[in-house]
Structure 1
Amino acid sequence: MNEKWIIGEVAKLFGVSTDTLRYYEKAGILSAHKDKANGYRYYSYDEIVVLMDTLFFRNMELSIKDIKQIVTQMDVGDIKRILYQNQRVVEDRIQELIKLKKMINQVASHYEACEQHLGEFVLVPAPSFKYKLLEKQADDLVDMIRKYKKEDWGWLDSIRYTLLVSQEELLKNPSFRSARVGISLDEENLYRLDSLEQQELSSLNGAEYLYTIVGTSYVEPEHDVLSKALDYLKEEGRQVKGPLIGRYMASSHKDGLDYYEVWIATDNS
Structure 2
Amino acid sequence: MNKKYKIGDISKLLNIPVQTLRFYEEKKIISPSKDDKSGYRYYDAWTINDLMDALILRKCDFSLQQTESIIKNQSLDNVCEEFDKKEEILLDKMDTLRAMLDAVSTSRMKMQNFKYYLGKVIKCKNPDLVFHRYREKDMLQTSEKSQDLESLSKELTPWIEALPAAIPTFYIPFPSLNHVSKQETPYWWGFSIAYELSSKYYLQPGNGNEYIPSVNAIYTVFEANEEGTFINSFYEQVYTKIVEEGYIISGSPFGRLIAKTQQSNTYRRYFEVWVPIN
Q: TM-score, normalised by structure 2?
A: 0.67
Structure 2 CA distance for aligned equivalents of residues 258 and 221 of structure 1: 9
Cα distance change, pair 131–124 in 1 and its aligned pair in 2 (3 A) = farther
Contact 1:163 1:247 in 2 (8 A): yes
Poorly superposed stretches of 4+, deviation over 6 Å = none
Instruction: Report the counterpart of residue 213 of structure 1 in structure 2.
Output: 221
> Which SS does the other structure have where 2:53 is aligned?
helix
> Which SS does the other structure have where 2:42 is aligned?
strand
Structure 2 CA distance for aligned equivalents of residues 202 and 72 of structure 1: 54
> Which SS does the other structure have where 1:168 is aligned?
coil
Q: Cα distance, 1:101 vs. partner?
A: 0.8
Cα distance change, pair 134–41 in 1 and its aligned pair in 2 (3 A) = closer
Contact 1:117 1:213 in 2 (8 A): yes
Instruction: Report the counterpart of residue 181 of structure 1 in structure 2.
Output: 188
Instruction: Report the counterpart of residue 97 of structure 2 in structure 1.
Output: 100
Q: Cα distance, 1:43 vs. partner?
A: 0.6
Once the two structures are aligned, what percentage of the paired residues are identical? Answer: 15
Contact 2:222 2:233 in 1 (8 A): no
Cα distance change, pair 215–115 in 1 and its aligned pair in 2 (3 A) = farther
Instruction: Report the counterpart of residue 246 of structure 1 in structure 2.
Output: 254
Selected match of 1:227 from 227, 230, 236: 236
Q: Between Structure 1 and Structure 2, how many residues are aligned?
A: 254
Instruction: Report the counterpart of residue 50 of structure 1 in structure 2.
Output: 47
Computed over aligned residues only, the root mean square deviation of the Cα atoms, in angstroms, reads 4.1
Cα distance change, pair 135–57 in 1 and its aligned pair in 2 (3 A) = closer
Instruction: Report the counterpart of residue 263 of structure 1 in structure 2.
Output: 274
What stretches of structure 2 of length at least 5 have no aligned partner? Answer: 143-148
Instruction: Trace 1:1-269 onto structure 2 (pairs within 5 A).
Output: 3-28=3-28, 29-31=30-32, 33-34=34-35, 36=37, 39=38, 41-45=40-44, 48-61=45-58, 62-74=62-74, 78-79=75-76, 81-118=78-115, 119-125=118-124, 127=126, 128-129=128-129, 131=131, 137-140=138-141, 146-150=154-158, 154=162, 156-158=164-166, 160-164=168-172, 166-169=176-179, 173=182, 178-183=185-190, 184-189=192-197, 191=199, 192-193=202-203, 196-197=206-207, 201=210, 203=212, 208-216=216-224, 217-220=226-229, 226-230=235-239, 232-233=241-242, 236=245, 238=246, 241=249, 245-252=253-260, 254=262, 256=267, 259-266=270-277
Cα distance change, pair 21–202 in 1 and its aligned pair in 2 (3 A) = closer
Structure 1 CA distance for aligned equivalents of residues 194 and 275 of structure 2: 18
Q: Cα distance, 1:59 vs. partner?
A: 0.6
Contact 1:130 1:185 in 2 (8 A): yes
Structure 1 CA distance for aligned equivalents of residues 50 and 72 of structure 2: 12
Contact 2:221 2:272 in 1 (8 A): yes
Contact 2:222 2:234 in 1 (8 A): yes
> Which SS does the other structure have where 1:211 is aligned?
strand
Cα distance change, pair 152–49 in 1 and its aligned pair in 2 (3 A) = farther
Contact 2:220 2:274 in 1 (8 A): yes
Instruction: Give the AA of the match of 1:68.
Output: E
Cα distance change, pair 262–194 in 1 and its aligned pair in 2 (3 A) = closer
Q: Cα distance, 1:195 vs. partner?
A: 6.6
Q: TM-score, normalised by structure 1?
A: 0.69
> Which SS does the other structure have where 1:148 is aligned?
helix
What stretches of structure 1 of length at least 5 have no aligned partner? Answer: none
Structure 2 CA distance for aligned equivalents of residues 260 and 138 of structure 1: 21
Structure 2 CA distance for aligned equivalents of residues 243 and 201 of structure 1: 14
Instruction: Report the counterpart of residue 145 of structure 2 in structure 1.
Output: none
Q: Cα distance, 1:89 vs. partner?
A: 0.9
Structure 1 CA distance for aligned equivalents of residues 210 and 238 of structure 2: 27
* Structure number with bigger Rg: 1
Instruction: Give the AA of the match of 1:55.
Output: M
Query: 1:185-213: CA deviations, max 9, x gaps?
Result: 54335553577537x736579x7533212
Contact 1:212 1:263 in 2 (8 A): yes
